[in-house]
Structure 1
Amino acid sequence: MTAKYVGAGDLKLAGVWSHFARADEPGHPANAAQRSSYEEALAVVTDSGMKPEVRHLSNSAATLVDPAARYDLVRTGIALYGLSPDPTTLGNGAKFDLRPAMSLTARLLLVKDVPAGVAVSYGGTAITKRATTVGVVPMGYADGVPRHGSNLLVVGFDGRIVPVLGRICMDQFVIDLGPNSNAKAGDEVTLFGNDGPSVDAWASASGTINYEIVTRLGPRVLREYR
């Protein structure tokens, strides 16, 4: 039926596409099987007299590791962020000459000196082991900072990597700036990217994937394109 209308000029076959399920596992037999099924579907289409404008099958992983599966068009998702589809099975983005394209920053809302033995944030899950300076970062899980990263994430500040203290709240979290810090409200904190931790490090600490870290940022987060 489709071939009839395409042949009559009433419809245009814009494309034939599918999507790899396990392209981030190079060599897995499912990839060859899926590509074979796709080729069979293409044959059915062309044998009926139709010619798709574009044929596309590859996501980021397939685009990077399987040139023969690129056809006419590729759909790069995470690679547009300069990140590897799976750092564990494929290696990090640098292996493919990718450069991270996103960084996330905020400015300290409050800086405070605290003694040892102070419970920090909800539930008191972090207690200061020494006198130190803490800073409040005005971003939280409502903005896309993963709550599972409580007490596990790190951020960049003043050329150093410093830890998150306590539970991440809806709109803010606390970082340990170290004893006798000269930090002040308004100073910039790099949550990830540039001189901060990598997106992959945040994902690993939060028990998730880098895709989720870069796509979950909420509408309150200001975007700047450079």
Structure 2
Amino acid sequence: MKTAVAEVSLSALKHNLLQVKKLAKDSKIMAVCKANGYGHGLIKVAEALSDADAYGVARIEEAFKLRASGISKSILLLEGFFSEEDIPVLSVNNFQTVIHTEQQLAQLEQSNLDIPIKVWLKIDTGMSRLGISINQVEEFLARLKACPNVSDDIVAMTHLACADEIDNEFNHTQIARFTRCVKAHNLSKTSVSNSAAVITNLFYNSTWVRPGIMLYGVSPMQNSSGSENNLIPAMTFKTKIISIKSILTGDKVGYSGTWQAKQDTNLAVIAVGYGDGYPRHAKNGTPVWLNGREVPLVGRVSMDMITVDLGPHSQDKIGDEVILWGNELAIERVAAWCDTIAYELLCQLTTRVEWKYINTD
């Protein structure tokens, strides 16, 4: 009996990329596949998203894995390089880099490269994370344009802090700051939109869009699911029932007895736990999908098992399939019950989980 399985639909990934193309039809698409393809498998994801114009990763190790798998398209290091020793490696492997500090710029100027590197200049418009301030842009641009190690086609980029909140006025503040900066410095190539901005059309005239979570069928917007935006969940996380038992009114379940039965009922023990990456902090009532219905988690999540209340008249059997999230049960709902976000659930599955890739095209 197979227990915890993460089934990834390559067809869903392709479908979701097509939705990005429909929404951002005038922009090039950088498919963000950092963090092991948001937990879906870096190489398989990149291959499925081959119709994207480029790939975005966080670390140089991820870029190496893509190149080693035979992927020749442009790859951008979204956090840039961390050491001057990385700079020749970027040049040789045709990796593009974000520049967001003066230290990076100085190291780039001091390098001696045969092949210049394409640079994306990150401008902080209010998120106060990575990026140079607007009043540094003139100096950075002058130095980048004078540097023989930098190719001519510099892309100006920023990141929106609140794009998942459609009515948040700070989105328009950031966009206005970026737009003024771009116009003041006559920058023709830009990138602003993450998944949320793509869906809400917050910045429609970017040269590049950088979708991430929406490619995996998950909504970047608060209080919504991917299906509401014509996205298909790429991952179905599932397992099996390994035990069924009857309990009486008043019986307590699990470590510390955090749940107590209000009626005589049947429980199923399910083969998944925090050892597989299922969230230990999932609350009583967190839904799982079983035989066409939702049933609630009861008791604490253990390393290898969870327990659900089947109800007093259940007909479920040992070996029946249980879906923890996927098409039948939106991961966004599960994340809400766990006081977290879908991104974290996807990225924290462990190596004990069996991975299966399907393609229905």
Instruction: Report the TM-score, using the length of structure 2 for normalisation.
Output: 0.54
1:81 matched to 2:221? The reply is no
Paired position in structure 2 for 1:21: 161
TM-superposed CA distance for 1:27, in Å, is: 4.3
Paired position in structure 1 for 2:191: 56
* Aligned counterpart for 2:333 among listed residues 165, 186, 201: 201
How many residues get paired? Answer: 215
Alignment of 1:160-199 (within 5 A): 160-179=293-312, 181-195=314-328, 197-199=329-331
Q: Distance in 1 between matches of 2:204 and 2:334?
A: 31
Paired position in structure 1 for 2:150: 11
Q: Distance in 1 between matches of 2:231 and 2:354?
A: 24
Distance 1:194 1:43, change over 3 A: closer
Structure of higher RCO (CA pairs closer than 8 Å, 6+ residues apart)? 2
* Aligned counterpart for 1:66 among listed residues 179, 183, 201: 201
* Aligned counterpart for 1:158 among listed residues 288, 291, 295: 291
**1:58 touches 1:70 (CA, 8 Å); kept in 2?**
no
Question: The residue matched to 1:110 in structure 2 has which SS?
Answer: strand
Distance 1:171 1:37, change over 3 A: same
Q: Is the deviation greater in 119-128 or in 206-215?
A: 206-215
Paired position in structure 1 for 2:347: 215
Distance 1:25 1:163, change over 3 A: closer
Question: The residue matched to 1:174 in structure 2 has which SS?
Answer: strand
TM-superposed CA distance for 1:41, in Å, is: 4.0
TM-superposed CA distance for 1:14, in Å, is: 5.3
**1:57 touches 1:69 (CA, 8 Å); kept in 2?**
no
Paired position in structure 2 for 1:33: 173
Cα-Cα RMSD? 2.4
Render the CA deviation track for 1:169-194: whole Å, top value 9, x for unaligned.
12211112223544333221111223
> Which residue identity lines up with residue 19 of structure 1 in the other structure?
H
Render the CA deviation track for 1:43-75: whole Å, top value 9, x for unaligned.
46547xxx7xx5211111111112644512211
**2:268 touches 2:309 (CA, 8 Å); kept in 1?**
yes
Render the CA deviation track for 1:83-131: whole Å, top value 9, x for unaligned.
221243xx54344222333221101222223333321100111122333
**2:190 touches 2:208 (CA, 8 Å); kept in 1?**
yes
Percent of matched pairs sharing the same residue = 34
Question: The residue matched to 1:107 in structure 2 has which SS?
Answer: strand
1:224 matched to 2:224? The reply is no
Render the CA deviation track for 1:122-160: whole Å, top value 9, x for unaligned.
011112233332221121123232233231211111112
Question: The residue matched to 1:2 in structure 2 has which SS?
Answer: helix
Distance 1:165 1:97, change over 3 A: same
TM-superposed CA distance for 1:80, in Å, is: 1.3
**1:152 touches 1:206 (CA, 8 Å); kept in 2?**
no
TM-superposed CA distance for 1:28, in Å, is: 3.0
* Aligned counterpart for 1:102 among listed residues 235, 243, 253: 235
Q: Distance in 2 between matches of 1:94 and 1:24?
A: 16
Instruction: Report the TM-score, using the length of structure 1 for normalisation.
Output: 0.82
1:2 matched to 2:135? The reply is no
Q: Is the deviation greater in 151-160 or in 208-217?
A: 208-217
TM-superposed CA distance for 1:201, in Å, is: 1.7
Question: The residue matched to 1:108 in structure 2 has which SS?
Answer: strand
Render the CA deviation track for 1:8-57: whole Å, top value 9, x for unaligned.
4x32255322111111223433222222332344346547xxx7xx5211
In structure 2, stretches of 5+ residues that fail to align are: 1-142
Paired position in structure 1 for 2:279: 146
In structure 1, stretches of 5+ residues that fail to align are: none
Distance 1:41 1:220, change over 3 A: farther
Q: Distance in 1 between matches of 2:205 and 2:231?
A: 18
